[in-house]
Amino acid sequence: MLPIEVWIPFFVIILGLLVLLFSMEHIAPKKPSKIKGETYWSGEKPENVSNLVRITYWKFLLFFSILEMVPVLLALTLMSGAVTALLALYLVVVAVASFIMVLG
């Protein structure tokens, strides 16, 4: 089991990311842009092609923060001397990040 000094930064980062997620959902614009439905300058109308990858700026910031959290946690864990559960902690963080990215 990891000491409490390793879990405190982990939960602080998770709490910070949750606050970021919920605050950005209220700040981000919800209405689609009118420009998407307008015609191009050449007179052609844009095709209705669904975007397979759709990400907003706040989601990108969230994903970047999650993926950057892994090296920070690894460094904190190595400095604390608790190497036994290092791989398990890394896998949990990557699994959470992957789960959020898939649902995004």
- Residues of 83-98 as b/e, b for ≥16 C-beta within 10 angstroms? eeeeeebeeebeeebe
Torsion of Cα atoms, 12 then 14 then 18 then 21, to 10°:
120
Domain boundaries, the chain: 4-27+54-103
- pLDDT score recorded for residue 29: 63
Q: What is the mean pLDDT of each run of 10 residues along the chain (104 residues)?
A: 79 82 71 59 62 66 74 72 65 71 64
- pLDDT score recorded for residue 38: 62
- pLDDT score recorded for residue 44: 64
